[in-house]
């Protein structure tokens, strides 16, 4: 029996978790989108463990392909949404892939008592290899905020960024997607478990409980029109 591809299985998980919504949504960018991915839907132990396993599988895949180093020191998830991503990914890398890897996240405000500092978890040190994880990239704002924080702590090497979904949208000031713009600006690779085109392709073949495809021709047409306008 052939195992379904990673992007197909991940799409099933998004739909099962009700993290992928169809309708009319206004994004932070101000764009009106016919779909929305809500990371807040991963709100219990099973879902966040499964999500971490998907991240770990993607990371292991890219290590095998030679696109990420095998000796990652810590997985960094930016506060707040990135915290459970970093923790669950580090657990899955250790338990399912035999990697000894830490997790780190930042505080929104520096703590001046107790252990102090801006970072929680594995503390950063010069020469460490740090892998970033985040949910969905639309503009790359979170990355631009977090890189200076990392560099202020130590001379670390950011080896890459892994996202759940690449929306494949061009930035407001170029024809590059946010993912390609971040790669060009910072010099590290960005990977996604799935991109929106893969998700909409897979969703046409995944059925609801009443036997209908999640992605109907109408939903697909709306997504295609949106990507024709904003896609990169």
Residue 15 in any domain: the answer is yes
pLDDT of residue 136: 87
What is the count of structural domains for the chain?
1
List residues forming the annotated binding site for orotate. Answer: 138, 167
Let me know: does 29 contact 52? Beta carbons within 8 Å.
Answer: no
**Structure confidence by residue, pLDDT tens digits, 182-224:** 999 999 999 999 999 999 999 999 999 889 999 999 999 999 9
List residues forming the annotated binding site. Answer: 28, 80-81, 107-108, 111, 113, 134-142, 167
pLDDT of residue 110: 62
Residue 117 in any domain: the answer is yes
Q: Who wins on pLDDT, 200 or 115?
A: 200
pLDDT at 140 over 60: yes
CATH assignment at residue 78? 3.40.50.2020
Residue 32 in any domain: the answer is yes
| Residues annotated as part of the active site | 111, 113
- Rounded to whole angstroms, what are the CA distances from 123 to 15, 128, 208? 36, 10, 45
**Structure confidence by residue, pLDDT tens digits, 50-102:** 999 999 999 999 999 999 999 999 999 998 889 999 999 999 999 999 999 99
Residue 16 in any domain: the answer is yes
pLDDT at 116 over 80: no
The domain of 86 spans 6-230
List residues forming the annotated binding site for 5-phospho-alpha-D-ribose 1-diphosphate. Answer: 28, 80-81, 107-108, 111, 113, 134-142
Residue 1 in any domain: the answer is no
Taking the CA of residue 123 as centre, how many other CA atoms within 13 Å lie in the half-sphere pointing to its CB? 5
Most confident of 105-109, 147-151, 186-190: 186-190
The answer to whether the predicted template modeling score (pTM) of the entire model surpasses 0.85 is yes
How far apart CA 87 and CA 103 sit, in angstroms, is 6
């Amino acid at each position: 029996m052939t195992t379904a591809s990673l992007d197909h299985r991940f799409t099933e998980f998004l739909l099962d978790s009700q993290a992928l919504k169809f309708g009319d949504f206004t994004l932070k960018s101000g764009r009106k989108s016919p779909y929305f991915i809500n990371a807040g839907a991963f709100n219990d132990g099973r879902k966040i463990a499964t999500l971490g396993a998907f991240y770990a599988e993607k990371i292991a895949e890219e290590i095998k392909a030679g696109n990420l180093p095998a000796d990652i020191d810590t997985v960094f998830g930016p506060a707040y949404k990135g915290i459970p991503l970093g923790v669950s990914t580090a657990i899955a890398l250790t338990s399912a892939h035999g990697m000894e890897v830490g997790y780190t996240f930042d505080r929104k405000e520096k703590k001046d008592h107790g252990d102090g500092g801006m970072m929680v978890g594995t503390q950063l040190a010069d020469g460490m290899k740090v892998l970033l994880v985040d949910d969905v990239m639309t503009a790359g704002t979170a990355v631009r905020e977090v890189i200076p924080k990392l560099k202020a702590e130590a001379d670390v090497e950011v080896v890459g960024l892994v996202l759940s979904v690449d929306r494949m949208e061009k930035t407001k000031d170029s024809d590059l997607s946010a993912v390609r713009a971040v790669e060009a600006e910072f010099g590290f690779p960005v990977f996604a478990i799935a991109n929106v085109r893969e998700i909409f392709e897979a969703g046409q073949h995944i059925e609801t409980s009443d036997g209908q495809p999640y992605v109907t021709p109408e939903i697909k047409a709306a997504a295609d029109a949106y990507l024709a306008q904003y896609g990169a």
